[in-house]
Amino acid sequence: MRDEGAGEDPEALARRIRGCTLCRDAPLGRPLPIPPNPILSLSGTARLLVAGQAPGNLADRSSKPFNDPSGMRLRDWMGIGPEIFYDPSRVAILPMGFCFPGPDGKGGDRPPRRECAMTWHDRVMAALPQVDLVLAIGLHAQRYHLGADARPSLTATVEDWRALVDRPGRRPAVLPLPHPSWRNNAWIKRHPFFEAELLPALKLWVATLI
């Protein structure tokens, strides 16, 4: 239900979320293996929302979202620098999991904690009616923001980006993206449309919105 949080102040809501300890005190499954440190950025004026997966280790240490090589690459994809990316009046940042979920033991990170989306995300989105475009990064974000319109796989979803970003009667628009991790270099090489077609469109939308 997207009207649950209607009327809430986004910045006040962000402050409440930063004090959330559900993944430690009332977890779904194993508790968070590190102290909770919710990381997000909200305002009532940002028309662009970056919906990622969950903060990484470097972001957790600095309490700054996308404060790592993946963030540098994402900003390059968007055609903006950190001074704009970290301006909450222009760019909101809402990961599917607010805290670094810990390493998975295979060189990557665990999936985003489920408690975050179940507890907070509908309220946050209802409090951001001015958002015109959501950058849905990764499968978890795409499944939440696209709902039943998400395709069975990340590749199929991103390949169908033109149809998904222009769904009649759906607002905000949602643009699906792969994660900007360098681990996805091979995926990008196998799908040349991403750099040739999707990224130029992304830069144009971002320039228009900010």
Q: CATH number of the domain at 140, please.
A: 3.40.470.10
Domains in the chain, number? 1
In a domain, 155, yes or no: yes
Q: Could you report the per-residue pLDDT of 55-85, keeping only the tens digit for each?
A: 999 999 999 999 999 999 999 999 999 999 9
Is this structure's pTM higher than 0.95?
A: no
- Asked whether residue 138 is assigned to any structural domain, the reply reads yes
- State the chain's mean pLDDT as an integer: 93
Residue 129: domain span: 10-209
| Long-range pairs for 110-116: beta carbons < 8 A, 24 or more residues apart | 111/53, 111/54, 111/140, 112/53, 112/54, 112/140, 113/23, 113/27, 113/28, 113/32, 113/54, 114/28, 114/29, 115/22, 115/23, 115/26, 115/27, 115/28, 116/20, 116/22, 116/23, 116/38
* Reported confidence tier of residue 6, pLDDT bands at 50, 70, 90: low
